[in-house]
Structure 1
Amino acid sequence: MRKLIGYLFAGLVLFGFAATASLAYAYPIAAAVVCPSCYGMEYAGRRIVVDAAMPAQMRAELLGDAEIAASEVGAFYGAFSRQPYLVACSTEACDHRMGGRGAKAITLSTPFVTVLRLSPRGIDPTILTHEFSHVELHHRVGLWARLTGAFPAWFDEGIAVLVSADQRYIRSAPTASERCVRDSERPLPTTPFEWTSKVGKDSMLYADAVCRVLRWMDANGGRDGLLRAIDAAGDGTAFNPDQALRGRGLS
């Protein structure tokens, strides 16, 4: 019996080591939150991890941009209820070490913690506001709805463009049609995996997504209707914005 307990204990220890190693390999940004020095990183503020070589000016910009982004997201959603960890790099070499493969920023959401990876090109208030929108929405609708496409990835991305007012994909204008930079009738990706694959080939999918979100909002009570739909999706209510748009002849 004692030997069996010993074997079980050893197995648990080995499993723990394997799980930790897998996490560090697959998601170095998550591991860097736990052990920043293991990756040449350090804490520059509460929940903010940067590479040790990041200049003071860039650190100050990052802190300021994060405050702006949190304020913008809180104003749109009524709250910014889940503060993420930020793992930011000042060099492309650091970004690559943290798992970056060209994207300006990536949000890793789990039921327990949310971590954002920022490349040197992602230290920007618009990019951070976009990512913080994902953080808040993911917290509200839950992991299952996103992974299964029950809450479509394109709708998530379109909201993030709207909240961040990213001028590459949305104009400042009084009506939805005037704000649209591009309005495509093509089907848009519903799962995060499909979105990542397709947007890498056509970044203007962001413009298509936000235009469709704007048209949905026009037909469904604007911002208040959008927030109600998000809360309902979080409670398990099926959400099919494409169907709603087709039902009103808008898609």
Structure 2
Amino acid sequence: MASRWKATALAIALAATTAAGLAATYPAAAAIMCPNCLGFRKAFGQVYVEDGMAPQEQAMVLQTIAMARDRLRGFYGTTESDPEIFVCGDDDCYRRIGGGRSRGMALLNLALFLSPRGTSVTIASHEMSHIELHSRIGLIKTFRRDVPQWFDEGVAVIVSDDGRYLRPTSSPDRCLVEPDGALPTTRSVWIESAASAGLYAKAACRVSRWIAGHGGFPAVTRLLANIAAGESFEMAY
């Protein structure tokens, strides 16, 4: 049943991304179906590394992934996602799977891809947060973007405890930038705007204040459960 669901999800993903003109996601999807075909080998469990990666580098990758999973559990309590994780040892590998200039990327709730520059606890846990959120609301609601991109990204910054965009946890207010005005709700607009507008810090600020005002981290799991049950984001928020 699980393999049938994965095949169905990939088929939908490929159809949707093709329709949107995002052909760069195809090699990433192909890696899920045939890791060896894209130059990966299984390292442990759901983790795949680029074929030829040195043993000591592979050991560091597995440690990083374990620490990122701990950070994810520290936020959500328990996790519902179990993505396949692909780690590249060089930039050529990452370009081959369509990674471009990013450090990491998530494909729905199916898989996580990390570049050599993204093999850190911060980047890995950020991308894992996206996958966990998508798993909790389901495939259809993920495609429809029922959770706006700014909230998804803000949660990921908090999960990853990214010091580039947040003050330390000991700070009464973790905001570095005031979230003035509307923030992008769609992924395409977010990607176009994020590099120049300080959006990660703004989204993290808005979400961190919302969490603080709604009883802490469990507020996010309640919101996602309500959305999965049919509420709109506006109602759940």
Residue 52 of structure 1: aligned partner: 51
Runs of 4+ deviating beyond 6 Å: 22-25
Query: Is the Cα contact below 8 Å between 1:107 and 1:115 reproduced in 2?
Result: yes
Query: Which structure 2 residue ranges, 5 or more long, are not aligned?
Result: 1-14
Matches of 2:90 and 2:128, distance apart in 1: 22
Q: From the superposition, tell whether residues 187 and 44 of structure 1 become closer, same or farther in structure 2 (CA, over 3 Å).
A: same
Residue 239 of structure 1: aligned partner: 233
- What CA RMSD, in Å, does the superposition of the two structures yield over aligned residues? 2.5
Q: From the superposition, tell whether residues 171 and 33 of structure 1 become closer, same or farther in structure 2 (CA, over 3 Å).
A: same
Partner letter of residue 66 of structure 1? I
Query: Is the Cα contact below 8 Å between 1:24 and 1:30 reproduced in 2?
Result: no
Instruction: Give the Å deviation of 1:67.
Output: 0.8
One of 130, 134, 137 as aligned partner of 2:133: 137
Residue 93 of structure 1: aligned partner: 92
Greater mean deviation of Cα atoms: 86-95 or 73-82: 73-82
One of 195, 204, 213 as aligned partner of 2:190: 195
Partner letter of residue 214 of structure 2? N
Matches of 1:55 and 1:230, distance apart in 2: 40
Query: Is the Cα contact below 8 Å between 1:85 and 1:115 reproduced in 2?
Result: yes
Query: Is the Cα contact below 8 Å between 1:109 and 1:138 reproduced in 2?
Result: yes
Q: From the superposition, tell whether residues 143 and 191 of structure 1 become closer, same or farther in structure 2 (CA, over 3 Å).
A: farther
Matches of 1:85 and 1:131, distance apart in 2: 12
Matches of 2:103 and 2:139, distance apart in 1: 23
Partner letter of residue 172 of structure 1? P
Q: From the superposition, tell whether residues 175 and 235 of structure 1 become closer, same or farther in structure 2 (CA, over 3 Å).
A: farther
Residue 38 of structure 1: aligned partner: 37
Greater C-alpha radius of gyration: 1
Partner letter of residue 155 of structure 2? I
1:53 partner SS: coil
Query: Which structure 1 residue ranges, 5 or more long, are not aligned?
Result: 1-18, 245-251
1:27 partner SS: helix
Query: Is the Cα contact below 8 Å between 1:176 and 1:211 reproduced in 2?
Result: no
Instruction: Give the Å deviation of 1:176.
Output: 5.2
Instruction: Give the Å deviation of 1:121.
Output: 0.5
Report whether the alignment pairs 1:206 with 2:200: yes
One of 146, 151, 154 as aligned partner of 1:150: 146
Instruction: Give the Å deviation of 1:208.
Output: 0.4
Q: How does 1:61-76 map to 2 (within 5 A)?
A: 61-76=60-75
Instruction: Give the Å deviation of 1:34.
Output: 2.8
Q: From the superposition, tell whether residues 88 and 124 of structure 1 become closer, same or farther in structure 2 (CA, over 3 Å).
A: same
Matches of 1:160 and 1:146, distance apart in 2: 15
Q: From the superposition, tell whether residues 26 and 164 of structure 1 become closer, same or farther in structure 2 (CA, over 3 Å).
A: closer
Residue 248 of structure 1: aligned partner: none
Task: Name the TM-score, length of structure 2 as normaliser.
Answer: 0.83
Q: From the superposition, tell whether residues 103 and 230 of structure 1 become closer, same or farther in structure 2 (CA, over 3 Å).
A: same
Partner letter of residue 47 of structure 1? Q
One of 215, 218, 222 as aligned partner of 1:221: 215
Report whether the alignment pairs 1:184 with 2:179: yes
- 1:14-43 superposed Cα distances (whole Å, 9 cap, x missing partner): xxxxx9xx8997421221233223222222
Matches of 2:186 and 2:73, distance apart in 1: 25
